[in-house]
Amino acid sequence: MLIIFDVEGVLLNAEYLPVLAQKLGPVKEKEIWDITKQGIRGEIDWEEGLMMRVNALRGTSFEDAKYIADNLEIMPGARKLCYSLKKAGWKMIAISGGFTIITEKLKDELYLDKIYSNELIFKDGKLDGVIINVSSDKSIGVKSIIKEWGIKKEDIVVVVDGANDLKLFDIAGYTVGFCPVDIVKQRADATIEIRDLSILLSLLEKKFGKTIETQL
């Protein structure tokens, strides 16, 4: 079995760039939030919105960027869920439209097998741009490893919140919207409306008929 997670709003209880924008004041924070929400709702091209947000934050110090990244809250229930799935022999992948600065720590903390994300570029200690490794079609990023592992569609679970994640639904046998926007809620097989990822354990047991160890 394989489970694929989005990161911001799913494994992390935050959206990184809007939190980083708080350092630059309420006007900049609102600007970044507005673009972020448009992308999550699927109202603008994700890559275009990402470039707009990074450009708006250009010049932010690496120290501020790293401090915010290191202090983002892991989603309640995420550690319990991921530990339980790892003990049960599941493979786990996270794929993010966000950045390595926020995802690198999650690989070890949440026992993830693979994690994919974009990379912020800093020059002379200041934010200068972004390298986009993960496109708006996140399924492209994971198809090769799924093929390598030989995992069938019916054995793949996807957990996301935003419209920019919907292409992942095409490769999954079971789809879950986690506190999702409306279009994800409409298309997902199941929805969790409480910000506690451990709720997913009971859904997986019901779907697949297997008891999953839940002790930490």
Tokens of 158: 């996807």
Task: Report how far residue 158's alpha carbon sits from residue 12's, in angstroms, rounded to the nearest whole number.
Answer: 16
- Judge whether 203 lies within some domain: yes
Q: 120 and 199: one domain? A: yes
What pTM does this model have? Answer: 0.90
Task: Report how far residue 36's alpha carbon sits from residue 43's, in angstroms, rounded to the nearest whole number.
Answer: 10
pLDDT-based confidence at 211, cuts 50/70/90? low
- Judge whether 213 lies within some domain: no
- Judge whether 214 lies within some domain: no
Q: 60 and 127: one domain? A: no
- Judge whether 184 lies within some domain: yes
Give the Cβ contact number of residue 114 at 10 Å. 16
Q: 84 and 130: one domain? A: yes
How much is the average pLDDT of 106-111?
Answer: 93
pLDDT-based confidence at 23, cuts 50/70/90? confident
pLDDT tens per residue across span 89-98: 999 999 998 9
Q: 120 and 148: one domain? A: yes
Pairing of strands 2-5, 174-178: unpaired
Between 48 and 199, residue with greater pLDDT? 199
Q: 185 and 94: one domain? A: yes
Task: Report how far residue 6's alpha carbon sits from residue 96's, in angstroms, rounded to the nearest whole number.
Answer: 6
Quote the domain boundaries for residue 22: 16-70
Helix and strand counts by DSSP (H, E) for the chain = 9, 7
Pairing of strands 114-123, 91-99: parallel
- Judge whether 177 lies within some domain: yes
pLDDT higher than threshold 90 for residue 82: yes
Coil, helix or strand at residue 27:
helix
Q: 33 and 87: one domain? A: no
Q: 90 and 31: one domain? A: no
pLDDT higher than threshold 70 for residue 212: no
Proportion of the chain above pLDDT 70, given as a percent: 97
Q: 51 and 147: one domain? A: no
pLDDT-based confidence at 213, cuts 50/70/90? low
CB-side neighbour CA atoms (13 Å) of 44: 14
If DSSP states are collapsed to H, E and C, what string results for 100-159? HHHHHHHHHHCCCCEEEEEEEEEECCEEEEEECCCCCCHHHHHHHHHHHHCCCHHHEEEE
Q: 96 and 44: one domain? A: no
Pairing of strands 156-160, 190-192: unpaired
Between 135 and 204, residue with greater pLDDT? 204
**Residue 188's domain is classified under what CATH number?**
3.40.50.1000
Q: Output DSSP code: residue 80.
A: H
Contact 85, 197 (CB under 8 A): no
**Domain count within the chain:** 2
pLDDT the model gives residue 93 = 97
Q: Output DSSP code: residue 73.
A: P
